[in-house]
Amino acid sequence: GFLTILLLLRYPIEDMPITPYVGVGVGAAYVSTPLKTAINNQNSKFGFAGQVKAGVSYDVTPEVKLYAGARYFGSFGAHFDSETTGADNK
């Protein structure tokens, strides 16, 4: 599972029928593993999260807009490291 809480700042550039926008977000991510066996005695972790996004919107009518965009999302520090046991280190 994955739960993310982000504060996102989106800045539209207005006064055109086609409106470009950029955004950046930072927050926290809660990551859990679906595995029944814990990894290093851990089933879940918290970490930092962030995203950047950019795109355009087109005003079809004053009430309807079409959007096209892309975003990159990443979580940092919320990963599971597996390590070998002493028997495997020979």
Number of domains in the chain: 1
Q: Classify residue 87: in a domain, yes or no.
A: no
Please check the confidence at residue 90 and state whether its pLDDT lies above 90: no
Q: Classify residue 85: in a domain, yes or no.
A: no
Q: Classify residue 10: in a domain, yes or no.
A: yes
User: Which band of pLDDT confidence, cut at 50, 70 and 90, is reported for residue 22?
Assistant: confident
Q: What is this structure's pTM?
A: 0.54
- Integer CA distances (angstroms), 59 to 16, 72, 78, in order: 9, 25, 39
Tell me how far apart the alpha carbons of residues 10 and 12 are, in angstroms, rounded to a whole number: 6
The residue segments making up the domain with residue 66 are 2-80
Q: Classify residue 54: in a domain, yes or no.
A: yes
pLDDT tens digits for range 52-89: 889 988 889 889 989 999 999 887 765 666 554 444 44
